[in-house]
Structure 1
Amino acid sequence: MDELFAKYQQELSEERKALQLKKMKFNDEYEKDKEMLFREQESFLEERQRFEEEESAFDEMVQTEEQRDEVILLNVGGKNFSTLRSTLTRYEDSMLSAMFSGRHHLGKDNDDRIFIDRDPDIFSMILEFLRTGIIPMPKNNEEEELLRREMDYFALGPPRIPFLERWNAKWKSDGLTLRDEGRTVEVIGEDRDHIVIMGDSKITHGSVTVTVQVTIPRPNRYSFGVLPDIPASFNKGFAYKSGVLGWGLHDHTSALGIYCQTQLVAPSTLGYVSGDLVTMTIDVDRGDLIYKVNGVKCAELLSSEVLKMGVYIAATLFNKGAIWKIVEF
């Protein structure tokens, strides 16, 4: 009887161990399945979030494109204009781009046109610039100044940088003398090439416009332009022969244009004679060099990669008695 009971206890113990092993195996498999399910759920949630973000970005892109193609009706100083939102927001850092970004409430007139209280005639030129990327040619100096003010107001175009409009007493030929606190330079030496720098530093960004009135005893090798570096010698010329490297408009009526050494790089419709006003604009950011004579645009060199590296404004004078005076508007 005792032997039978002992055998029964042994069998019961073995079954209990087998059951415990089965339970442990089941728990291990359960934990593995649970972990796998958790990971699949996590992956699903991440995928759903990515999909929702992509869907939101797509909707935003579609909405943005629709806004860009939206026609905007304007009333500027009493004159009506129609244009695309994409035109008004072409330059991201401008005031117009901020105004028409969709983040601001804009006042409207009785015809549901957005009202802007500015000069309508000048705004038409602003709109032309926004459409073409080219600053339109003003009719006269007064209109040019108004356009410049409006461009500044709307934060459009190249920034005008502070520039010392004076001939430099250190960077000049010995045959030159300065008067009027550096506003006027005169050739007191013999007839030969004389270079003088304007300002006290290299222009490395932005836009500078300067005007000089020339007094020329007779037509000769005069030039007004820019140099990439301060020359080793100021007793040479530039922009008409193999002298100092530079670009400039000179007075020769037989060969009108902007020259670099002896090479014509841009044609001109005008030269200049004694008494003329010669205006030069250098836009380093764009690499543009533009000239006017007596307010009439005559020559331009555009998108020059070399000019984008920075320049000094300079002039070549020749005949004794030649006088170049900086004109300030």
Structure 2
Amino acid sequence: MDPVSFNVGGKIFQVSRYLLKKHSETMLGTAASSGYSSPEPIFLDGDAAIFAQVLIYLRHGNITLPVTISKDMFIKELVYYDVAIGPGSVKSESEGRFMLIENQTRVLEKINENLSVLSKFDPCFQKIIKNLSVLSTFDQCYGSQFYSGYSEEGMGKLADDIHRKLHEHTK
């Protein structure tokens, strides 16, 4: 089937009529079903980067947005194009990173709490608590900007990088 062309933010997008007809209830689907066939692209007043993500959403029914695109702005664009939004179908990469950091913080707090109890009975644990205090200070100084480049699988590398950074700092 011949594609329908859209001009969004000065960028031309060619979209199959098949995809648009699957979403006939949307503003974009209406363009495909109206029999529009012109050599000129249909002008849409919007952001090209977000529109590209809208097309991905239409193709797959869900999306994980890159950190460069605001979830709120994306949802506003979906509403603008009359696209139905399924529960939990729009996620953001930044949400996952924030949750990872939040979980790490909770784990460190729990470990610190348990070690505080143990240190009352064993002097070796007092040394461990001092090291945890250093790690906590490191987290406060470097925080999410340091952790953001690490996935859950990369936590071993993160530990090595923290050790290296602390070693550099104490020289």
User: TM-score, normalised to structure 1's length?
Assistant: 0.27
Greater helix fraction, Structure 1 or Structure 2:
2
Bigger-Rg structure (1/2): 1
User: TM-score, normalised to structure 2's length?
Assistant: 0.47
